[in-house]
Amino acid sequence: MSTGANMSHRTKGAKGFHHWWAQRLTAIALIPLSLWFAASVIMHAGADRAALAAWLSSPLSSVLMILTLGATLYHGVLGLGEVIVDYVHCAAARIAALIFIRLFGAALAVAGIFAVLRLAFTG
């Protein structure tokens, strides 16, 4: 028979596993995405706005850029969350910092996706 304490422990473990798994998946996803991004930056070094807009108007380029942006930000938020949980000992400061990094990461994601789509569709 399970007690409330056991269920709470299982829930925390499930969340911990999900966090660990998400961080590993984003790290694996970022390997090819980072290589693609680095190659793209090298290929378009010195290009003007029109050339970048033409490149991002390709569905493949814009989708890969959005995936790179999303995976990078999500991976960063997960990693910073781990640092905060491990090293910020005041509960109120820890909660505030976790809320801040999640909101900031979400705001950066929205702004980045908007910028990519705007460049892709309007040039």
pTM equals: 0.83
* 12 pLDDT tier (thresholds 50, 70, 90): low
> What angle do helix axes 49-56 and 91-122 make, rounded to 10 degrees?
100
Q: Is the pLDDT of residue 3 over 90?
A: no
Both structure tokens of 12: 């925390």
Q: Give the domains, in start order, of the chain with CATH numbers.
A: 25-122 (1.20.1300.10)
CA distance 111 to 6: 42
* 7 pLDDT tier (thresholds 50, 70, 90): very low
Q: Is the pLDDT of residue 1 over 50?
A: no
**Across residues 65-79, what is the average pLDDT?**
97
In this predicted structure, what is the pLDDT of residue 40? 95
Say how many C-beta atoms besides its own lie within 10 A of residue 75's C-beta. 19
Helices (H), the chain: 4-43, 49-56, 59-87, 91-122
